[in-house]
Structure 1
């Protein structure tokens, strides 16, 4: 990018840090799932509620986000979001009960709208030829946060196994590791909150609100002098004077008009299909999933960290190809790749066999009456749910859940390499395609007059889908087994692939105004060379 646009880069990079905080907030809990379940004696339903509570919080937040970002502006709304992240991280780390932990994480979920507002702001300040790359910064930072969370958790687990005096001096004990994991979000959240004071308000929003002089002043902070007149004319051209200050309900009604129906279909399809892949269930329960494969605790955390690295590598790769290959081919290829990867995982889990051995029983704590497991020794089981059900009948549901990982590790026989490869392939496909491109498309295909409502609406759809998947994942895993769960993740993405094949146009290198005109039928999407 030319040096003259360096300020746009800096402001975009600051706002995109919201993706990093989201990634940390969402995934740090993955390392403490088993510890939280044990400390608060949670059932599968209770565990699903605690882990998914941010997803419930974001649903409530998105109901008001459109109003806040249109009435108060993008900058003030982002500052409020950053402050909520800080409060949530502090409360989560010290929560004395499961319901306070759920409430603290619900509060953090109110801030998850950073995932949509960040790209919205960046899309409004970025020059059209660089919009794809700069909007993708949010997704890049999200996967950096995801990856960083796994490494933070791995580091905390490793440190807790050390006998160093300083480890004990900070209270890092095996039973409270999850508190240190969740508390590690506090410093970066505080940093992002402070940096947001440096960014200008969105010139498009200011112009939309009729504050033309302030809009021009803000634009001069972002655009080089040589591009100022062109950028200003582009903003004015895209703002329909009759649409300024539309009430929220009128903006929603405008989304249903013929000129935006195709955009709505695209937004709805990709918002549902993206999360129906089960991506957040895999991220939020990563160590638990790897323990299903027979990995011990340390190995499961290492595999989760590897998954984080794969996420980061392919998200960066997407940054370089999204403006070169275009949005349409990347999305279609991505969904096909995701479906194939999930199919590989489902097949691998369907081949699993379980047989309890004396060696596995010997690893159990001395306080447990292992004679109760004698009838199960050497008995074959064809599925994880059948094996877990037999354990629960033999020693009780509470004890079976507490020692489940040890027993799975020694009893399972399945193509672990095939399944790990499928999971990593799935993560790569998601981060290369629909992960970042969904937010690029949502920041491009809606006009300024309705974008403040449209993007939160489709983020709400994404959040609802994600919440349902996260909440039901532990229950589904215990009830139907891993093979059925991974197989179920294929259906909706397959339908989404078919719909998008017929209605998704190419928007690469088009200005927001050109895209709006195309959807409204005023012009055809032109072929643009990279």
Structure 2
């Protein structure tokens, strides 16, 4: 095997995950700045954060067609251009509407994850497929980590009195500098993609066997390349010879031998997102502020979460081809549900009482003088406390100083919540985070994978969009405790379903996995 060539191609393609991670997490640090500059409410904030999640829904409707017609590589190059255009447009946004539009365009590029999984799954040897496809996830968390640290660093710079900070408007255009971090990596990825070869399986579907053989021989011995090419052609001939149409793909997925694979894909696509990962990752500083640790500490804690994500994703990549996909998914999901339940217990037992003495230490104490009217009143939930704040000092002031007020007024087991959130992040990135993309890359037949992977990525993206869009509203109307209880229940249901359905696919070729699902379906019939 030409290990160097195989890994180089996978690393370049997986960089799409890094750009995705940056795009997803950089926005988390801008929420307060954007909401103040444009005067946004909960649903408008949700629209800004979730706009990419909305955009990807439309993109995924055509991604399969583009991948089948123009190829995986060409589609990735176009996607990288969309990331770059969106980043520049976001930095230059002059209104709430233009920012939403810019981020919507960036969401069209979020299909990079499904196309990258498709490409790597088609070029990677079976013994390395788990590790190589999982590189998408580790790139995502590296991107997330870099974004959190960049946000933290920019916030600290914005508070300094340095002349060059003021000259570059870092103190006044803080959120624009945060979003600008994405531009240079997007440019680099765009040019690197021209160096990767086309997918050999796509070339075979297009009848370009000689080109496919040439690509495969650049990565493996000639004899092995010829044998694998023969296997690909044999399976394609058995399935119908070329890539299936949209109608044929859905028929194969939901009524043919791939039906069991479709059920597994459907379940994991929903579970991965409905347990709340993107609510926590995309709104990380906001989530940590609810614990009452203050704004600066919340940004720092978000950065720590990035490191936890990185460590456990790397651990998953090391173990995925040793332990297998099933143990990581099943027991990782159980771990995640327990962690979310710990967060629920922490928020459910919290009490809130205005502490005038603590508030008097703040430089904004004169603006919050009206809170004296609430002194001595104990609130059993964050919802009732926030409503009382808004009625006493007004909605705008309550939102502007929510972090400072919560820091001075919250009594709870903050360590339980912080450990619970950190533990959930660890469990997610050890299991359903990276393994979903590995499964998507290997459980669908070659003939329909150009449609199947984007379809199930669409399902995951739809759930992700709904979670992101309504999280600020849920926080204001349901409260943190009920949100985490809902995530816990979803995790438990997902554990039970996947425990029954999910097979082990490690060390099997795509063709062997396809045969397994076909035999399982026939056995059921």
TM-score between both structures, scaled by the size of structure 2: 0.97
> In structure 2, what is the equivalent of residue 169 of structure 1?
167
Distance 2:485 2:314 in 1: 28
> Equivalences for 1:31-46 in 2 at 5 Å?
31-46=29-44
User: Are 1:193 and 2:190 an aligned pair?
Assistant: yes
Secondary structure, counterpart of 1:354 in structure 2: strand
> In structure 2, what is the equivalent of residue 214 of structure 1?
211
How far 1:462 moved relative to its partner? 0.1
Task: State which drifts further: 161-170 or 278-287.
Answer: 161-170
User: Are 1:21 and 2:14 an aligned pair?
Assistant: no
Contact 2:312–2:430 (Cα < 8 Å) also in 1: yes
> In structure 2, what is the equivalent of residue 485 of structure 1?
483
Distance 2:46 2:363 in 1: 26
Among 257, 272, 275, the alignment partner of 1:274 is 272
How far 1:205 moved relative to its partner? 0.4
User: Are 1:234 and 2:202 an aligned pair?
Assistant: no
User: Are 1:109 and 2:111 an aligned pair?
Assistant: no
Contact 1:281–1:470 (Cα < 8 Å) also in 2: yes
> Equivalences for 1:33-112 in 2 at 5 Å?
33-112=31-110
User: Are 1:256 and 2:249 an aligned pair?
Assistant: no
Distance 2:255 2:365 in 1: 68
Distance 1:234 1:191 in 2: 36
Distance 1:374 1:301 in 2: 29
> In structure 2, what is the equivalent of residue 528 of structure 1?
none
Secondary structure, counterpart of 1:256 in structure 2: helix
How far 1:364 moved relative to its partner? 5.9
> In structure 1, what is the equivalent of residue 180 of structure 2?
183
> Equivalences for 1:434-513 in 2 at 5 Å?
434-513=432-511
How far 1:119 moved relative to its partner? 1.1
> In structure 2, what is the equivalent of residue 133 of structure 1?
131
Task: State which drifts further: 194-203 or 288-297.
Answer: 288-297
Deviations 1:48-81 (A, max 9, x none): 1111010000000000001000001000000000
Deviations 1:143-200 (A, max 9, x none): 1101111011111112222222222222211x42111000110000000000000001
> In structure 1, what is the equivalent of residue 323 of structure 2?
325
Secondary structure, counterpart of 2:352 in structure 1: strand
Distance 2:520 2:271 in 1: 29
Contact 1:86–1:186 (Cα < 8 Å) also in 2: yes
Distance 1:389 1:408 in 2: 13
Distance 1:524 1:64 in 2: 31
Change (3 A) 1:493 1:522: closer
> In structure 2, what is the equivalent of residue 410 of structure 1?
408
How far 1:450 moved relative to its partner? 0.4
How far 1:524 moved relative to its partner? 11
TM-score between both structures, scaled by the size of structure 1: 0.96
Contact 1:144–1:312 (Cα < 8 Å) also in 2: yes
How far 1:463 moved relative to its partner? 0.3
Distance 1:45 1:353 in 2: 26
Distance 2:80 2:68 in 1: 18
How far 1:399 moved relative to its partner? 1.7
Unaligned runs of 5+ in 1: 526-530
Contact 2:258–2:518 (Cα < 8 Å) also in 1: yes
Deviations 1:8-56 (A, max 9, x none): 1100110000000000001101011111111111110111111101000
Task: State which drifts further: 256-265 or 308-317.
Answer: 256-265
Deviations 1:113-164 (A, max 9, x none): 0111111100100011111111111111011101111011111112222222
Distance 2:400 2:32 in 1: 8
> In structure 1, what is the equivalent of residue 6 of structure 2?
8
Deviations 1:379-430 (A, max 9, x none): 1111111110000111111221111111111000111111000000000000
Task: State which drifts further: 356-365 or 87-96.
Answer: 356-365
Distance 1:12 1:448 in 2: 19
Contact 2:213–2:226 (Cα < 8 Å) also in 1: no
Contact 2:83–2:186 (Cα < 8 Å) also in 1: yes
Unaligned runs of 5+ in 2: none
> In structure 2, what is the equivalent of residue 294 of structure 1?
292
Deviations 1:230-250 (A, max 9, x none): 332332233235141422221
Among 398, 411, 419, the alignment partner of 1:400 is 398
Distance 2:47 2:22 in 1: 19
Deviations 1:476-530 (A, max 9, x none): 01101100001111222221211111111111100000000011118999xxxxx
Output the aligned Cα RMSD.
1.6
Secondary structure, counterpart of 2:30 in structure 1: helix
Distance 2:327 2:75 in 1: 34
Change (3 A) 1:435 1:255: same
Q: How many residues align?
A: 521
Contact 2:87–2:179 (Cα < 8 Å) also in 1: yes
